[in-house]
Structure 1
Amino acid sequence: MKNSLLLAIALVLLGSSSVFSQGEIKLGINGGLPMGDAKDISDFNAGADITYLFSLADIVEVGALAGYSHFFGKDGEEGDISWEVDDFQFVPIAASGRVNLPFFFIGADLGYAIGVNDGNDGGVFYRPKVGITLGNLGLVASYSGISIDEATVSTLNIGLEFGL
């Protein structure tokens, strides 16, 4: 079921490029430090995403985002007790928007993060971000959160964005 959903989303994103030929595709990579509930079970987060944005006004862009986020599980030892948390992953699918100002932008992504590993149902995904633009390259800082039942898996991220 998850594979069928991912294939459908990929086809929609690829098909939308011909509908909105004035748009721009951006590829991003990022790394983050888990915060809040996530810092107890993860040491580090790494991710990648693809965003399709088209201009709504001179400085406003909107579009869609699909990505992959991998959390590296934490292990530890306290006295005679040792533990190990398995890695866990999400595939965020979101609406994306940003306001472009000279040399920087502010934006946000909002959608749903599909849980990839067993027992991971996913949750609501949100990511406010700010970035510095240098032509087709951007340096992006963001906070991302995934609300799952009564917990939030969140990270403070830094990444690079490449315009195609």
Structure 2
Amino acid sequence: MKKLILVIGIALVGFSVNAQNFNVGVSGGIPTGDNSDFYSFGIILDANYLYDVSEEFSVGATTGFIYSLLDSDFEGDDAGFLPIAAAARYSISEEFVLGADLGYALGVTPSELDGGFYYAPKLQYYFTETISGVVSYRGISVDSDAGGSASFDHITFGVEFKL
């Protein structure tokens, strides 16, 4: 696990050398899905590097951290995930961009939390050339110990900065 985080960190530092397509963002999220009764709010940090395939289409990699705060009515730990995903963005106009991230989210905290399939469709609106507002639905499908699966999902609202 530590080696994986180190490799991701080195990769992101390498990407920042050519930072024209490097983006960072922060979002707040409203929990939905199976765990919405247990978690009250989500805080999401994002970093991605996108390569322009054409004027309208970009692909790349994304990572970040998703932190779900446990509701005060329950005892236990907050949940944290480290998503590692492929990213795609399509510009539908100069201001609007449709995107999707697909990959795997590693369960980080609590330590017994499993990871799962990660997906995040999103819509971005560019206020300026370097600042955009982002609306997204982020889902993580996690296998449960009781058999079956559970979902850690958020509807998120945030801002992204192009560096």
Q: Please, what TM-score do these two structures have when normalized by structure 2?
A: 0.89
Match of 2:103 among 103, 106, 111: 111
**What is the DSSP-based 3-state SS (H/G/I as helix, E as strand, rest coil) of the residue aligned with 1:7?**
helix
CA 1:105–1:86 in structure 2 vs 1: closer, same or farther (change >3 Å)?
same
Match of 1:142 in 2: 136
Greater share of residues in strand: 1
Counterpart residue number, 1:12 = 11
5 Å-filtered alignment, 1:94-109, equals 94-100=85-91, 101-109=93-101
Aligned length: 155
**Which 4+ runs in 1 deviate beyond 6 A?**
none
**Residue type of the alignment partner of 1:129:** K
| Other-structure match for 1:86 | 77
How far apart are 1:28 and its partner, in Å? 0.5
> Following TM superposition, by how much is the alpha carbon of 1:24 offset from its aligned partner in structure 2, in angstroms?
0.6
Structure 2 stretches lacking a partner, 5+ long: 144-148
Q: Which runs of 5+ in 1 are unaligned?
A: 77-82
Q: What CA RMSD, in Å, does the superposition of the two structures yield over aligned residues?
A: 1.5
State the distance in 2 between where 1:156 and 1:85 align: 23
Q: Superposition pairs for residues 72-83 of structure 1, below 5 Å?
A: 72-76=69-73, 83=74
| Equivalent position to 2:125, from 129, 132, 149 | 132
**1:96 & 1:14 partners in 2: Cα distance?**
18
Q: 2-side partners of 1:16 and 1:102: how far apart?
A: 25
Mapped to 2, the partners of 1:41 and 1:53 lie a distance apart of 35
Q: TM-score, normalised by structure 1?
A: 0.89
Alpha-carbon distance between aligned partners in 2 of 1:51 and 1:115, rounded to the nearest angstrom: 20
Q: Distance in 1 between matches of 2:107 and 2:43?
A: 15
